[in-house]
Amino acid sequence: MNLRKLFYLMLIIPILFLNTACSDDDGDDPVEVNEAEVLVKYLEAGDDFLNTAAPAMIKSSDVLPNVDNTNWTIIDIRSASDFANGHIKNAVNKTTGELLSYYETNNLSSKEKVVIACYTGQTAGWATSLLRIMGYANVYDLKWGMSSWNPATKGSWVNTVAGGNGKAGQLVTAATAKAAKGDLPKLKTGETEAEDILRARVEAVFAEGFGAAAVGNGDVFGALSNYYIVNYWSEDHYNMMHIPGAVQYTPKAALKLDADLKTLPTDKPVAVYCYTGQTSAHVAAILKVIGYDAKSIKFGVNAMSYDAMPGTRFIESTDVHDYALVK
């Protein structure tokens, strides 16, 4: 082989490698997968938890008779110190980051019910939603959290509703229309199959923690234009009062691909609120998985206009029980 042929051969080889790397087995360019669309269609074709069963909550009065039931598992995700000071009998203490692994390693899908308890029902609602969309339909959020279990653990909710009228005079009745439909968020997990995209996203959201999916009402009211605010109520209740600029989305109907999901923006935080913050925590978790910068407004309107609000209120006299705590 003469030097000229060798020279041209050395030029051609890198091009051959480049063409091979950028093509599939048929010589075509690889098809770009719209991961968010694949994921949403997969979730909606399954049990569509967001638009059917969410929120998945269970009352303390239904948990109490089952604390010794070996077919139930109670997971307390409060701090280790608060857990040590008093918890539900037979509960185990885990961090939110451990939940998915603990559930799968211990085959908790074989249990009748898995109950997650936090302080208020909001972090547990977020975690419950993440496990539910993984297909684990036996997981429930302890309604009102440990605030409902015993007077010694009631503080988070009792203290919140005691000062829960601070934004009453700022709520309005004027409606704001939904934004125009746009694109879904851009996900870049690198996966192509729906199940793999889902796992990657759920693991990522668990790793972020609930703090990344929550916001206080003071932060929202302090910068209303910085958020796309979702009122997750019925239209009737929305018309009674809502945060200025909030847009009404009907629960279990609006946040579907063929409805209004694509009206949520991808270029600013989406702040979702409900009555208590428990349902909105469920919703924000799923929107996070899809790729939205979604945040649940903590404690909902219970922390804004407690005396005048429609919907569910935390009522100490009926919602706080005197069930035993163990150490």
Beta-carbon contacts of 247 under 8 Å, excluding residues fewer than 6 positions away, are 176, 177, 178, 179, 228, 229, 230, 231, 263
Q: What is the pLDDT of residues 68-91, one digit of tens each?
A: 999 999 999 999 999 999 999 999
Same domain membership, residue 154 and residue 202? no
Would you say residue 259 has pLDDT above 80?
A: yes
Tell me, what's the pLDDT at 28? 55
Q: What is the pLDDT of residues 268-291, one digit of tens each?
A: 999 999 999 999 999 999 999 999
- Given 164, 182, 208, the domain boundary residue is 164
- Given 147, 164, 181, the domain boundary residue is 164
264 within some domain: yes
Tell me, what's the pLDDT at 7? 38
Same domain membership, residue 146 and residue 124? yes
Would you say residue 319 has pLDDT above 60?
A: yes
Tell me, what's the pLDDT at 26? 52
Residue 104 phi/psi, 5-degree rounding, is -75, -40
CA dist 145 → 7, 231, 278 (Å): 73, 23, 10
Provide mean pLDDT across the span 16-33: 51
Domain harbouring 240, CATH code: 3.40.250.10
Same domain membership, residue 143 and residue 241? no
152 within some domain: yes
Same domain membership, residue 134 and residue 214? no
Same domain membership, residue 205 and residue 249? yes
Same domain membership, residue 287 and residue 183? yes
217 within some domain: yes
Would you say residue 132 has pLDDT above 80?
A: yes
Provide mean pLDDT across the span 217-225: 98
Give the closest residue to 145 by CA, choosing from 258, 293, 299: 299
How many of the other CB atoms lie within 10 Å of CB of 297? Answer: 31
- Given 128, 144, 164, the domain boundary residue is 164
Same domain membership, residue 134 and residue 183? no
Same domain membership, residue 127 and residue 244? no
Place of tokens 């063409």: 19
For the chain, the helix, strand and coil percentages under 3-state DSSP, each to the nearest 5:
45, 10, 45
Same domain membership, residue 191 and residue 147? no
Same domain membership, residue 173 and residue 289? yes
CA dist 41 → 37, 75, 201, 302, 314 (Å): 6, 31, 15, 34, 36
Q: What is the pLDDT of residues 45-65, one digit of tens each?
A: 999 999 999 999 999 999 999
27 within some domain: no
Place of tokens 């968010």: 36
319 within some domain: no
Global pTM value: 0.90
Residue 2's pLDDT band (cuts 50, 70, 90): very low
59 within some domain: yes
256 within some domain: yes
Residue 13's pLDDT band (cuts 50, 70, 90): very low
Provide mean pLDDT across the span 204-230: 98
What is the C-alpha to C-alpha distance for residues 168 and 58, in angstroms, rounded to an integer? Answer: 29
Range of the domain at 85: 43-164
160 within some domain: yes
Domain count, the chain: 2
Beta-carbon contacts of 257 under 8 Å, excluding residues fewer than 6 positions away, are 37, 40, 41, 44
Same domain membership, residue 265 and residue 191? yes
Same domain membership, residue 62 and residue 159? yes
